[in-house]
Structure 1
């Protein structure tokens, strides 16, 4: 049985922990958080062993516990430090919450430390494990709608609905030195946006040539924002491939969500068809079971097809992601987002932020 330690028991812990529960292959043996009492509440909430040791210092936890898997759910500026420390202690599987690191230099340090120790490094990305997004990827890979030429990702951010996240829990996201991204900090493009940058790379499976981005500022956050990019040209694709993502603010909109008050919509255009993927974060709300709002819509050969038979709840993307990582540590699978792959997504993300700062397109090969 694999022994699991988790650093960080804040809001996202509520989802990251699910894949470890009632799993015969693993056991959560320790937790780490600065607030011990809140961690005790999480132990009760998820019916964990009440005798689980709780640490306020992750280094002490790593030193004292014999761990096979470590989940790092820390603010961004601590990802590299914690990963390198865990690797030096020989922990076999290290899963890091997105984004990978604040810089490519930090990412390289994480990768090198894990290579040296033989640790498996994986950056946690739940969206690629969402059942309906996985089905969409499968259909694209099967050439069901032909050769894809365009992807549009829209992130809608409301002001009401979802979790009641304490302001204190998000305070660090307003600190540029902790959240990362631009010099002023990028809590939208660098944090929430990581999912979109990953999908932009993963869905098509192609390298990015160049990117252009615009960001505004609303009450201290880097939004609204718009990013467009061109994929590297290939003889395999008749039509040049492009992508774009939009972060739209709706300060009066109520988004009924079991989680964060935001949602995602993806549109893919290919040579023989068009695909629309509805919902991400808010999957599982009232819209999810509407017949006029199916998870996947395809227009192909003059007909409209819908795909609705999925587990409609965002939590399943986390459960599936965690279960997959357990299989990776057992040697039965490969990481979906390895250290090197995550570094590429980081490069893509930082290039967009640089473009917005400079007001011009940025080539990834030069970033």
Structure 2
């Protein structure tokens, strides 16, 4: 109990103002043992020692709540354009390789890089893991299982130094692309050329896939990227970070978006206005149109649709766009590419996942260099009390 002179104590309201939280949060701090409350004779309410409050205030990044702003040097979205470390993705997607752009995001340097490595033992291990899942499983299901197994087999996965992490990411990407079901191209080919026969039986256009992988590599603090950063903040290894990202990506509002756009375009090819009418009648948004960040155009969609030349699917999109208030986004562009080249129906989700591994790795590297456990959400108890 404090002495009669309580100048070294603060009331609940004063503590709330000092820590910039609600009074209810102070009670949560007490229940978690972060603060100790005392009672003063002749006064109502709790008091808190100034020294304890100041000690908690000094640890605000770790304990006072969710980090509201995450500083990052990776991706800028500005004026309906997208930049990786100051470089326009329009130029990166058409002038540089996947490996070069990955290296840019990971290290800040833009230069030509060796092809992604392929190790026979790792590829076989990933294939064996993928074969365990049911035949009805999607490619992303196979990727999740393979990532977990590859991580368990890597004895150096807990080395979080930048060089070790980037080397592991290169090996992981090269292994996953090669291990996916389907014909295997030469390891000397581009990533797009190696991935193409896994997704499409048509004549390869690897530059389209290379561009897509670059354009989808990162997009700021998307929900899967936040999940990856939270895991990295706890110093989870790269495989666990990627697994966290894949878990969030599996949500219907994130990684599944290309599939929804693919199904809509499938109907629209037969009857553009009929498909649009049915969609509008359902009360649901038109898949593949509009964006929460971009206002008038999605630069990723413009690049990808431009690579499809004069394919009939582009005309279908134009007919729908003319009657839709929104604009084509990257999900629709990926769906259009899938239809144009007869990709397997689950190819869009897998392409998205493989591309984002590049971005998640970059964000993990930033988190490894930041204070650990800085994402500490403060829950406010709203249940019954005794």
| TM-score by shorter chain over 0.5 | no
**TM bracket (short chain):** under 0.3
Could you say which structure has the larger radius of gyration? 2
TM-score by length of 1: 0.25
Structure (1 or 2) with the greater strand fraction: 1
